[in-house]
Amino acid sequence: MKWLKGMGLLLIANVLIFVTLSITFQVMVNVVLPAFGIDVRDAVNQQDLLWAFIIGFGGAFLSLAFSKQMARAMLECRQIVQPRSHEEQVIYGAVQEIAQRLRIQMPEVWVYEGQDPNAFATGPSKNNSMVAVSTGLLSHLNEQEVKAVLAHEMGHVYNGDMFTTTVLAGLMNTFVYFISRWVYRNLSERNEMLAFGVYMFLQIFLSFLAMIPISWFSRRREFAADAFSAKVYGRDAMISALQAIDRWVNRAQIEYSTQDALATMKISGKSNGFMHLFATHPPIEARVAALKQL
């Protein structure tokens, strides 16, 4: 029943998004743009918007639906079903305790091979999710720090971050496809090869730009997940975990030079200049400062 309810809500959300886009589209094309002397009513059509919506959101939600399977396929991991060691009991017990507090279904708990101290949560809903930690996280962080990181990931699960990120990605994909298609349609009448070339360029370029708002949202949700962890185990535990990760990152940068651990570099938020716009995680210093203000 929960699965059917989730699918129903997903369908309703998609329909509402499409209706909103359609109304906005009609108002922009028929009212707003003509008021500024821009008439594109013969150049765009509702069919392109419908296909853009289907392709944009369809791909995003398919990725979400199979996110757990894809994560397991890409990693060398093992599931903890019945803890067989103190280490496994700490991981499994922390996730179980938080899930019971939140009254949500227990996520799958996995451990995967990886030297970098890392963890992630994924899944289509808060009642159908998985939490995974790397062996590096268990090696470089103490028990309380590991539990704080797990609480952070459970914050993502409870806040529905995977779903909202997917909606945002679907919206961005819709506009990328629609704009690219609109330009192609208008150029193809003059030069088919040129139109196709511009279409492919716009697909790549606009997809690149679309990562800016998606990355911005990702950074915002990290602060929220940190705050959730602070509520569960106290802010000092999460601060200590972040500082332990930061020490490992700094050590890895010196030891491995350019062969650094990509996932943990993203967690550290170490990016400069323009590339900061594409960082999925805020700088650790900013996260620690936010935690201290709680």
Tokens read off for 94: 């922390």
Asked if 108 is an active-site residue, the reply is no
Question: Taking the CB of residue 4, how many other CB atoms lie within 10 A of it?
Answer: 8
Query: Which DSSP symbol is given to 19?
Result: H
Q: Is 216 helix (H, G, I), strand (E, B) or coil?
A: helix
Q: Which of 74, 244, 229 is nearest to 142 (CA)?
A: 244
Ordered alpha helix ranges (H), the chain:
2-27, 33-35, 46-65, 67-74, 86-102, 135-140, 143-159, 161-188, 192-233, 235-256, 262-268, 284-292
Q: Which residues contact 214 (CB under 8 A, 6 or more apart)?
A: 165, 168, 169, 172
Tokens read off for 292: 């201290």
Q: Which of 108, 145, 153, 222 is catalytic?
A: 153
Q: Is 1 helix (H, G, I), strand (E, B) or coil?
A: coil
In our burial notation (b when 16+ CB lie closer than 10 A, e otherwise), range 110-149 reads: bbbebebbbbbbbbbbbbbbbbbbbbbbbebbeebbbbbb
- CA–CA gap between residue 3 and residue 235 (Å, rounded): 34
- CA–CA gap between residue 107 and residue 131 (Å, rounded): 6
Residues annotated as catalytic are 153
